[in-house]
């Protein structure tokens, strides 16, 4: 469904007048496609799975029905589980905006910060609790959080939570909640692990599938460059000069690369910061705030923290390191082009990474546009094939050399390269 097809406005969604008034106040006039499809199902009180990318308005999709079901009792009624601190803070902020001056209490519970403030928020009688699984378990164990009367449990970015390894915590929490709860699950992908959670903990869920690959990536211009590892920094500098991004998010694969790249860039240009999982939470919060307010122009990050970033001003995403998982690619570039805005994404690919690029292109059903800049070429048509041929020839030479050796080890000489990536998606 396109936005134009659901131009009925929020009024058609059967929400309380004070919620509608708040939506108008914060400038939400029309539901996004996921909201138009997900909210009516969730309002029926049944279990719903929403398959949608971030940046499509999925937070309000689950918050609005949850708010609608809320009673006046000052005890935890709605629990939202999210993968990272950044993400739960974002959900919390979105909830605050939607709630406006309605009398609804909220608590945000996440690790990496002291307990006291969070305990006080729970003691004030939080009706909606948003948190990361680990810290939530801590709060339950210590007796600060009682989840036995929850009416709604929401698993946001379920695929990401499972990737991080939160499965045991999620299951521990779900087992303690009432059986008659409503469970809403949001996920960009329906990997097998997600399916297994839905099979065990959801009752006849309705699936709202807006995962259509075009959703988050269609409005984003996607380019690629072929570049040798040691020339990436030079290419990046040229690209930044040419593109003059309003705000730019640069992804590296490893924490150490984030640190190194941010330092190298910082010596050359102003307004560069790093963001990776080893940084203390207060530093991460400060960096996020500065980025959101536009004081930081260039943020270098790893996937873990990059995933939670929702900043409207991001005009460019650069994959300094090509992601190894095609889903991660969609998540990364989805940081730009938020809520229908345009964005540009660039991916640097070294010769040996051709297969990763092919996997991404298959996944999004689209070819990245080869770009070029003085001294650097894109993945020119045929470039990939050439690289693959060169690799195949190299491998053939290596295996011939192995065959000529007098004593071959068992299985030696054959290609160790995995034959393509194993897709984690169903179907």
Q: How far is the CB of 226 from ligand AMP (least distance, A)?
A: 33
334 makes contact with ligand AMP (CB under 6 A): no
Rounded least distance, CB 338 to ligand AMP, Å:
5
Nearest to 346 by CA among 212, 235, 182: 235
Write down the least CB distance from residue 129 to ligand AMP, Å.
18
| CA-CA-CA-CA dihedral for 230, 240, 323, 382, to nearest 10 | -70
Helices (H), 299-375: 303-306, 326-333, 354-364
Return the structure tokens found at 19: 């919620």
28 is an interface residue for ligand AMP by CB under 6 A: yes
CB of 58 to ligand AMP, least distance (A): 5
Instruction: Give 182's contacts (C-beta < 8 A, 6+ positions apart).
Output: 42, 45, 46, 47, 69, 151, 152, 153
C-beta of 159 vs 321, nearer to ligand AMP:
159
**Minimum Å distance from CB 36 to ligand AMP?**
9
Nearer to ligand AMP, 168 or 340 (CB): 340
Other Cβ atoms less than 10 A from the Cβ of 321: the count is: 24
Per-residue binding letters, 306-325, with ligand AMP (x by CB under 6 A):
----x---------------
For residue 324, how far is the Cα from the chain centroid? 15
Q: Helix, strand, or coil here: 182? A: strand
**Nearest residue to 346 via CA among 364, 322, 362:** 322
Residue in 297, 332, 338, 384 binding ligand AMP, rule: CB under 6 A: 338
Coil vs helix vs strand at 225: strand
Closest to 295 in 3D by CA, of 319, 318, 311, 316: 311
Q: How far is the CB of 52 from ligand AMP (least distance, A)?
A: 8
Q: CB of residue 40 vs ligand AMP: minimum separation in angstroms?
A: 15
- Count of residues that bind ligand AMP according to CB under 6 A: 16
In the set 269, 339, 377, 402, which binds ligand AMP (CB under 6 A)? Answer: 339
DSSP, res 120: H
How is residue 377 annotated by DSSP?
Answer: -
Instruction: Name the minimum Å distance from CB 245 to ligand AMP.
Output: 19
Binding range to ligand AMP, per CB under 6 A, among 28-36, 149-157, 161-169, 246-254 = 28-36
Q: Least separation, in Å, of the C-beta of 356 and ligand AMP?
A: 26
Q: Of the listed pieces 11-19, 27-35, 127-135, 232-240, which binds ligand AMP according to CB under 6 A? A: 27-35
Burial bucket for residue 208 (CB in 10 Å: 0-12, 13-18, 19+): buried
Which stretch in 25-33, 245-253, 357-365, 380-388 sits in contact with ligand AMP by CB under 6 A? Answer: 25-33
Residues 239-278 that bind ligand AMP (CB under 6 A): none
Q: Which is nearer to ligand AMP, 152 or 350 (CB)?
A: 152
Nearer Cβ to ligand AMP, position 265 or 317? 317
Rounded-to-integer distance, Cα 6 and Cα 255, Å: 42
Alpha carbon dihedral 327, 329, 331, 333, in 10-degree steps, equals -160
Give yes or no for residue 32 binding ligand AMP (CB under 6 A). yes
Q: Which of residues 40-99 bind ligand AMP (CB under 6 A)?
A: 54-60, 94
Of 58 and 92, CB closest to ligand AMP: 58
Question: Would you give the binding string for ligand AMP spanning residues 92-131, x where CB under 6 A is met?
Answer: --x-------------------------------------
Query: In the complex, what is the shortest distance from the CB of residue 148 to ligand AMP, in angstroms, rounded to a whole number?
Result: 29
Contacts of 338 (CB under 8 A, 6+ apart): 55, 310, 311, 312, 314
Cα of 249 vs its chain's centroid, Å: 13
Helix (H) or strand (E) holding 60: helix 58-69
The residues that touch ligand AMP, with contacts defined as CB under 6 A, are 28, 30-32, 35, 54-60, 94, 310, 338-339
């Amino acid at each position: 469904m396109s936005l134009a097809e659901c131009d009925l406005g929020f009024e058609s969604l059967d929400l309380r007048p004070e919620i509608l008034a708040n939506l108008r106040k914060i400038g939400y006039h029309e539901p996004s496609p996921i909201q138009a499809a997900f909210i009516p199902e969730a309002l029926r009180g049944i279990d719903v799975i929403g398959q949608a990318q971030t940046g499509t308005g999925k937070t309000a999709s689950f918050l609005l029905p949850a708010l609608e079901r809320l009673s006046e009792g000052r005890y935890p009624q709605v629990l939202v589980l999210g993968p990272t601190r950044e993400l739960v803070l974002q959900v919390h902020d979105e909830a605050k905006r939607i709630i406006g001056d309605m009398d609804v209490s909220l608590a945000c519970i996440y690790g990496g910060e002291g307990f006291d403030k969070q305990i006080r928020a729970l003691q004030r009688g939080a009706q909606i609790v948003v948190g990361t699984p680990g810290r939530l378990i801590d709060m339950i164990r210590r007796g600060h959080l009682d989840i036995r009367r929850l009416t709604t449990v929401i698993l946001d970015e379920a695929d990401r939570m499972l990737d991080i390894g939160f499965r045991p915590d999620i299951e521990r929490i779900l087992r303690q909640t009432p059986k008659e709860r409503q469970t809403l699950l949001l996920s960009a992908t329906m990997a097998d692990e997600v399916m297994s959670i839905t099979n065990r903990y959801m009752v006849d869920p309705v699936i709202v599938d807006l995962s259509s690959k075009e959703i988050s990536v269609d409005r984003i211009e996607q380019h690629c460059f072929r570049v040798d590892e040691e020339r990436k920094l030079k290419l990046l500098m040229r690209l930044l000069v040419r593109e003059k991004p309003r705000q730019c998010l640069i992804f590296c694969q490893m924490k150490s690369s984030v640190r190194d790249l941010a330092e190298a860039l910082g010596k050359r240009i102003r307004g560069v910061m790093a963001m990776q999982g080893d940084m203390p939470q207060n530093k991460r919060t400060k960096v996020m705030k500065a980025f959101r307010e536009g004081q930081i122009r260039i943020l270098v990050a790893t996937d873990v923290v990059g995933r939670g970033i929702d900043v409207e001003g991001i005009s460019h995403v650069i994959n300094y390191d090509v992601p190894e998982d095609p889903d991660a690619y969609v998540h990364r570039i989805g940081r730009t082009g938020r809520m229908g805005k345009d964005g540009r994404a660039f991916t640097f690919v070294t010769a040996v990474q051709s297969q990763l690029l092919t996997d991404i292109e298959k996944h999004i059903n689209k070819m990245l546009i080869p770009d070029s800049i003085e001294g650097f070429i894109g993945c020119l048509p045929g470039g990939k094939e050439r690289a693959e041929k060169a690799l195949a020839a190299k491998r053939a030479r290596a295996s011939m050399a192995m065959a000529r050796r007098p004593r071959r080890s068992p299985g030696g000489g054959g290609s160790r390269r995995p034959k393509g990536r194993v897709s984690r998606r169903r179907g």
